[in-house]
Each structure stands twice: as C-alpha cells, then as structure tokens.
Amino acid sequence: MLIAGNWKMFKGPAETAGFCLELRRADVSGIEVVVCPPFVSLATAVQLLAGTDIAVAAQNVHWDADGAFTGEVSAPMLRELGVYGAIVGHSERRQYFGETDETVARRTEAALAAGLSVIACVGETETQRERGETEDVLRRQVSVLPADEQLVVAYEPVWAIGTGKSATADIAQEAHGFIKSLLDVPVLYGGSVKPDNAAELLAQPAVDGALVGGASLDVDSFTAICRASIRS
C-alpha cells in the first residue's frame, strides 16, 4: 500500500523541515510513504528523511536532461538531490500549464529511464463523466504510458480534486479495475482523500494506495490516512 502526499505549492524549506521532523516521529511503519514537496523544499526533505523508509518525490520533471527550458527541472538533477521519483501529468498541470498526453508520456519515459519512480496521473472531468466518456478518457490517457515496474498510476477524477467531493468507493473500484485492465500497474486513488473516507476507499480490492492533496499538509491528518491503509 502506497500513500503519497502531494503538497502542491505549499511549504517552503522551513515548514518542510518542521513537517519532516514530526513525520519522523510518527509511526508509519509497514506502509510505503512518499512526500512530494515543491522543488525548493526537496533538498530539505531528502536530508531530514534520510535514514527512514519515507521517500521524497518531485511534483514534476522535464523530459530532457538539460537545455534551454526556463523553470523546468530534469530527472538527473532530481537524482543528484537524492529524490526517489516524480509525479507526472497531474490534472492541475494539464489544466493550467498545457500538459498533454504526449508531454506526460515524454516526462514519464525520461524519468523512468533516469531511474526515477513515476506516479502518472489520469482522470476525467465532471463534464466527461456526465457524458459517459470516462472510459474513453482513461483509455486515451493510459495508452501513452509505458509498462514499467517503477510506474504507478494515480486515478484522480478531476471533479474530486480540491472540491471536497470524493468518488464513492464503488466509483473508485470500477475506475481502478478498468485502468488495470489496460495496464498492469498499481493504481492509487486521489481526489479529496481525508482521514474519514480513506479506510473505505483503501479497502477496495483494486485500490493500491492514495495520492493525497490537502490532507497531506497536516502531519496528524496524513499519518491518520497512512494508518487507515493498514486497517484496510
């Protein structure tokens, strides 16, 4: 069971240090735990979580090793920092920064080739779900991803990200089962995962963990979700 915390654009190095020191003291044994701070806080997280089983991943990665790509960070740079992996293709990257299936594939392939693990995000919008297009969207997004033992897919229905809405356990199970029929990889659920709904979602047979957003910013909340995964 993998529980990853996506901090988005929260927590600079000072806040990250405090969080990581608290997380070190928490009991999250028996769970694969990953935190994904902003780029400026990665080095702090790597340093303070060294010697633990808690991994650190980036929120994005470029497809080239270097070059004239202002504002981007490459996989070799992340490896040099001691970073474990990267999130790729989050819906916010698709919505606000022009990410496409093609660029998601390029980022994923480059990260895997460099030895990073990848959490590749897929999911439909509310309009697409209402039109009955969920499977078509997921098929298109998953089809560009390579089969790789270091790849994990995160199913994040866009209508449940940052909205307070969450897919029901049945919806999550159905979507995860469909994704696994396309690609044999672990599939995480993401979309308003909280301590009070985590156990039910994580108990579904096709759900292999969670990509947690806002609820990962508080140590108590995040560790409660981690512990819910053990009970599941």
Which residue in 32, 92, 99, 156 is the catalytic one? Answer: 156
pLDDT at 232: 57
- Average pLDDT of span 106-132: 96
- Cα–Cα distance measured from residue 222 to residue 22, given in angstroms and rounded to the nearest whole number: 11
- Give the CATH number for residue 118: 3.20.20.70
In tens, the pLDDT along 146-188 reads: 999 999 999 999 988 777 777 899 999 999 999 999 999 999 9
Classify burial at 23, counting beta carbons within 10 Å of its beta carbon; exposed 0-12, middle 13-18, buried 19 or more.
buried
pLDDT at 226: 96
- The DSSP symbol for 74 reads B
Helix (H) or strand (E) holding 5: strand 2-6
Are 114 and 75 a contacting pair, CB within 8 Å?
A: yes
- The DSSP symbol for 1 reads -
Q: How many CA atoms lie within 13 A of 98 on its CB side?
A: 0
CB atoms within 10 A of CB 69: 11
Active site residue 176: no
Domain count, the chain: 1
Which residue in 90, 92, 99, 176 is the catalytic one? Answer: 90
Planar angle of CA 142, 146, 149, nearest 5 degrees: 110
Alpha helix ranges (H) inside the chain: 13-25, 42-48, 75-81, 91-97, 101-113, 126-130, 134-143, 169-182, 195-202, 219-231
In tens, the pLDDT along 18-75 reads: 999 999 999 888 899 999 999 999 999 999 999 999 999 999 999 999 999 999 999 9
- Cα–Cα distance measured from residue 229 to residue 196, given in angstroms and rounded to the nearest whole number: 12
Range of the domain at 174: 2-231
Confidence bin at 231 (pLDDT 50/70/90): low
> Considering the chain, what is the average pLDDT of its residues?
95
SS (H, E, C) 160-192: HCCCCCCCCHHHHHHHHHHHHHHCCCCEEEECC
Active site residue 156: yes
Percent of the chain with pLDDT over 70: 99
